[in-house]
Structure 1
Amino acid sequence: MTTTTRGTMHPRFDEILTPEAIAFVAKLDSAFAGRRAELLQTRRDRARRISAGENLDFRSDTRHIRADASWSVAAPGPGLRDRRCELISPATRSMGVHALTSGAQVWIADLEDATAPSWENVISAQVNLYDAVRGRLDETREDGSTITAEDSPTTIVVRPRGMHLCEKHISIDSRPISASLLDFGLYFFHNAQALIDGGRGPYFYLPKIESHEEARLWNDIFVMAQEELGIRRGTIRATVLVETITAAFEMDEILYELREHAAGLNAGRWDYIFSYIRTFAHRGDEFVLPDRDHITMTTPFMRAYTQLLVSTCHQRGAYAIGGPAAANPTRQDDEHRHRALALVRAEKEREAAEGFDGSWVAHPAVVQTCQEAYATVLGDNTCQRDFRHGPITAQDLVSLEGVPQTITLGGVRTNVSVALRYLASWVEGTGAVAIENLMEDAATVEISRAQLWQWLHHGSQLAEGPTVTRALLDRVIEEEMAVLTRNAPPERARHFEQARDVLTQTALGDYLPGFFTPYAYVRYLIDRPLRMDGPLSPDDLRQSEQVATPVTNGSAA
């Protein structure tokens, strides 16, 4: 096995990319590469069956797991007993310091949707986390003063990149390494023992999971990683983001597979809506969603999903965590700031009243508002595990009954404009972007482009009369580009042109790609000598799945 690192070495990268750490990550990747490739192919096969008419339902082969009331997940790990407010941000020095001094119970150091995965961003995040774990994270202000996060009571939880992504800068026998295993492995190798010594533990959020078999893979990765470093099995805790509609049908099973490491489930609004569109993109007009502003957490199929999540978690002793408040009130005048905080408070009070034990926020300025909202319902309690909802059916999870079918030209224009603005920052290396007083991440682009594709594919009619055609979308894109690039400096204008390329490739083609990130990553974010030019096929974007001899590191179902 030959491991090659091709990324540029920046200051302190040698502290993270040690031979021992790389060997540890390579061992994990080699052990599980075959299963990862098989599971990703299983995703694609299932997607084709659903597109051909197969309906989603709770699985009959795992009915015994759902029916067995005797099992529960592990007890909360140290530092995870109070999760009423979790602040998510990229793992930059500045944002890390602000998160750890915000008063939030948890800092979600996001290496996924809020991070544009350039090589420098990926490894710099590991440097920052190394310092944060040891109480050495600091930031020097413009006036020369320094803010430190020493002795922070906030618990760190890391969200690695999704299973479908690769890291081109490190290869094993010429095959790019799994991005999720690199993120997990480097953090775990360098910090697991230090976290334990500090009275916490290595904790993770697992994104984009689509089935309990994928949860089983993660559990086996955790077991091997702990064995390799001599750490007690069950020390790791993982919270799974239920942000795909297929995972919503397997919540019990996902917790069961991870039960010795499971900490809870999280409801991710934008990714879940995106998953709904992507899953049923090729089905009939009855699955077409309206302008995204019309889909809220109180929309019937969304409420069914969150009610099932709360009940499932509480039945199994896990925490149910609500979705993010994306408000960025610091960029508004007093009137708008107070209005934004009032909206956040109302949203978080509604979540708590519906049984959630805590929630995400995306800015330190709303931490206190979130905590106060949950206190109105939970009081001094840190969870409400006795809370249950009534039964939820498979039809409840997919039905669009009660959803307005209005699609407007304004909705089209908003999706185009927001996607272009976010993507221009993403290709520049920024993954968390303030747009219209909201903190946006990659999920914003995913739902925006998926809606554009769905409306185009189905020839949806706008409220104003016209139908959505390629000519209409090209015109709107051209008009928004003219507005966004007017008086823009040449470098910024170039990034908008790159953003248009990504949007065109992932929203206007014959098929809807699973994610925009694989294409945008190999085209614009990797170090220049490794960038892929010319037409790209799906196989070009799946090189990390090209495992010569599939390796199986299996476990009993």
Structure 2
Amino acid sequence: MRNLTEHPLAWSIQAPQPTAYNSILTPGALQFLTELQRRFNQARKIVLMERATIQHQINHGWKPQFLPETAAIRNSKWTVAPVPADLRDRRVEITGPVERKMIINALNSGASIFMADFEDSHTPTWDNTIQGQINLKDAINRTISYVNENGKEYRLQEKVATLMVRPRGWHLTEKHILIDGEPASASLVDFGLYFYHNAKTLIENGTGPYFYLPKMESYKEARLWNDVFVFAQDYCGIPQGTIKATVLVETILATFQLHEILWVLSDHSAGMNCGRWDYIFSFIKKFRNIPGHIFPDRSQVTMTVPCMRAYTQLVIQTCHQRGAHAIGGMAAQIPIKNNAKANEIALEKVKADKLREVTDGHDGTWVAHPGLVPVALEIFNTHMATPNQLHRTREDFYCTEATLLHIPEGTITEEGIRTNISVGILYMESWLRGNGAAAINNLMEDAATAEICRTQLWQWLHEESQLADGRLFNQALYEDWRDEEIEKIRQTVGSLQYQQGQFVQAICLFNRLVVNEAFEEFLTIPAYDAILSNNDKKVCQEPGEAEVSEPEKVQEPEIAHSHDMHYTTH
């Protein structure tokens, strides 16, 4: 095993490299990553700076709007390039991390698509990330297998789902790989390794390199991905337009630039997906500093509240006007095996959610568990006789900026606060153990849920929001309920599991995210540093034992001037 592999003035690997990793970390692949990093990392930094600029503007009263400078794109007639045959019928898609057994089960699930995830359901330890690339390569070559502790063997069936891959977002870095002495863009690492090793094999297999793109906030971020695609296809000698990518519409700002995002990705577009949980997180986060912009308990922010209805229907309308698929959101329920009544109630919620999606005009939907594939399939098969619903252009729908920005009505309750605390801690503990897809309260949770939990707590606490019973949510109340929820967790999991797990570190990190004056943009950034720190004692002290660190003083960015978007109608 080598602990450090270097290429002069280019790349170095700051992690153990078992022999098995040599099939992924080849000189050719690392040279490709180097080219991607050198060409696109500076542009990545610029779009991230523009995010900070927009946040500054929102903090000072600016509201998102449909861009005047791109009105011609919205008002002209054009469509995206057609998609390949295996992306035309996407009625049920299953998602999951790049763990070996889960990949096999998802590909065998009967879903149309499997989205293999390096993002919200993935803890980016070095082993998880590189082993995930090995697993996907083996799946594409149909050599993947898995044997569990009881000797049960898992292999691929003859017919499997079409594979798509979600790389990490633009805001994340891969610190195990340095390029020219700087951490590599995690987006480019995940995309680059997968594309370099598998694109030609995928094409030979009658499919292609297909992706899901997360967390984008503007058409400029989408245009950067398109530039990456153009370069990568040229570099590997693959025809332009072979790559197809579905955009996750999961930020409030992206909703105001849907046409523009499809436009810049036109030759590579495979539609859009409604990433509902991250969307709610983004909505709360962007307006966290605006008095009165307080969301109620997250259980009350359903898909039927006005702002969420407007968001999903606008995605459908925009996509179908442009000849692109619009995929619905996640059903996170897990079948409940030991409680028939509870399982029936959960399945009825799934059915109602999928019925809303298909009748609204969605072309497909997401599930998190193979057991929900037949449930969602039945709804879509009953109500969608065609491969998709691109013919439903939703001319009947009209959406205003005010509707998209309408804050849901509701209340803040003790139960909602306690749930946010317990779910947030439980998820963080799972993530820090290396498991980014955690089963909590019969739901398959990923980072988006924990983001909502800690962001709501941060906002409610710093605003001293009023609860439904009249009490104000202050530091003392938070600490009392936090400590009580921690004790409940300790009693539930048992002392041994509590001590052997990552609970102390998870509690400390989650607490800092809630109480610190400075708001952390993404919890996965300090959480990633925590797993790299290898249980650094400074990170791991429990609340009450550690002093709360002074918040960093963040210099507000200068207001950048927006650049005109150049386009040609087609």
TM normalised by structure 2 equals: 0.91
Q: What's the offset of the Cα at 1:338? A: 2.6
- With over 3 angstroms needed to count, the CA separation of the structure-2 counterparts of 1:171 and 1:228, relative to structure 1, is same
Structure 2 partner of 1:5: 13
- With over 3 angstroms needed to count, the CA separation of the structure-2 counterparts of 1:536 and 1:516, relative to structure 1, is farther
- With over 3 angstroms needed to count, the CA separation of the structure-2 counterparts of 1:532 and 1:509, relative to structure 1, is closer
Q: Do the aligned residues in 1 keep the contact of 2:505 with 2:539 (CA within 8 Å)?
A: no
Structure 1 partner of 2:330: 324
Q: Do the aligned residues in 2 keep the contact of 1:310 with 1:356 (CA within 8 Å)?
A: yes
Instruction: List aligned pairs for 1:238-257, cutoff 5 A.
Output: 238-257=245-264
Rounded to whole Å, the distance in 2 between the matches of 1:555 and 1:404 is 37
Residue identity in the other structure for 1:377: H
Q: Do the aligned residues in 2 keep the contact of 1:413 with 1:476 (CA within 8 Å)?
A: yes
Instruction: List aligned pairs for 1:349-388, cutoff 5 A.
Output: 349-388=355-394
What is the number of residues matched between the two proteins?
Answer: 539
Residue identity in the other structure for 1:353: T
Q: What's the offset of the Cα at 1:468? A: 1.1
Structure 1 partner of 2:316: 310
Please, which of 53, 64, 85 is the counterpart of residue 61 of structure 2? 53
Please, which of 17, 38, 44 is the counterpart of residue 25 of structure 2? 17
Q: Do the aligned residues in 2 keep the contact of 1:245 with 1:275 (CA within 8 Å)?
A: yes
Please, which of 193, 215, 218 is the counterpart of residue 222 of structure 2? 215
Q: Do the aligned residues in 2 keep the contact of 1:378 with 1:384 (CA within 8 Å)?
A: no
Q: Do the aligned residues in 1 keep the contact of 2:518 with 2:551 (CA within 8 Å)?
A: no
Structure 2 partner of 1:340: 346
Rounded to whole Å, the distance in 2 between the matches of 1:297 and 1:10 is 46
Q: What's the offset of the Cα at 1:385? A: 3.0
Please, which of 87, 90, 108 is the counterpart of residue 83 of structure 1? 90
Structure 2 partner of 1:544: none
Rounded to whole Å, the distance in 2 between the matches of 1:102 and 1:536 is 49
Residue identity in the other structure for 2:128: N
Rounded to whole Å, the distance in 1 between the matches of 2:552 and 2:223 is 26
Q: CA RMSD in A?
A: 2.1
Q: Deviations over 1:162-185 (max 9, x none)?
A: 110001100112210000110000
User: Given the alignment of the two structures, is residue 442 of structure 1 paired with residue 450 of structure 2, yes or no?
Assistant: no
Provide the secondary structure at the position in 1 that maps to 2:521. Answer: coil
User: Given the alignment of the two structures, is residue 296 of structure 1 paired with residue 302 of structure 2, yes or no?
Assistant: yes
Please, which of 225, 230, 236 is the counterpart of residue 237 of structure 2? 230
- With over 3 angstroms needed to count, the CA separation of the structure-2 counterparts of 1:18 and 1:489, relative to structure 1, is same
Structure 2 partner of 1:546: none
Residue identity in the other structure for 2:250: E
Provide the secondary structure at the position in 2 that maps to 1:158. Answer: strand
Which 5+ residue runs of structure 2 have no aligned equivalent? 1-8, 542-548, 555-563
- With over 3 angstroms needed to count, the CA separation of the structure-2 counterparts of 1:58 and 1:117, relative to structure 1, is same
Provide the secondary structure at the position in 2 that maps to 1:157. Answer: strand
- With over 3 angstroms needed to count, the CA separation of the structure-2 counterparts of 1:80 and 1:431, relative to structure 1, is same
The farther-off stretch of 76-85 and 298-307 is 76-85
Please, which of 269, 287, 296 is the counterpart of residue 262 of structure 1? 269
Q: Do the aligned residues in 1 keep the contact of 2:174 with 2:185 (CA within 8 Å)?
A: yes
Instruction: List aligned pairs for 1:404-423, cutoff 5 A.
Output: 404-423=409-428
Residue identity in the other structure for 1:147: Y
Rounded to whole Å, the distance in 2 between the matches of 1:463 and 1:421 is 26
Q: What's the offset of the Cα at 1:477? A: 1.3
Rounded to whole Å, the distance in 1 between the matches of 2:552 and 2:315 is 34
Rounded to whole Å, the distance in 2 between the matches of 1:45 and 1:255 is 23
Residue identity in the other structure for 1:437: N
Structure 2 partner of 1:130: 137
Rounded to whole Å, the distance in 2 between the matches of 1:421 and 1:95 is 21
Which 5+ residue runs of structure 1 have no aligned equivalent? 541-553
Q: Do the aligned residues in 1 keep the contact of 2:96 with 2:102 (CA within 8 Å)?
A: yes
Residue identity in the other structure for 1:162: G
TM normalised by structure 1 equals: 0.93
Provide the secondary structure at the position in 2 that maps to 1:151. Answer: coil
Q: Higher RCO, 1 or 2 (CA under 8 Å, sep at least 6)?
A: 1
Rounded to whole Å, the distance in 2 between the matches of 1:4 and 1:422 is 32
Q: Deviations over 1:269-289 (max 9, x none)?
A: 11001001001000021x100
Structure 2 partner of 1:454: 459
User: Given the alignment of the two structures, is residue 479 of structure 1 paired with residue 484 of structure 2, yes or no?
Assistant: yes
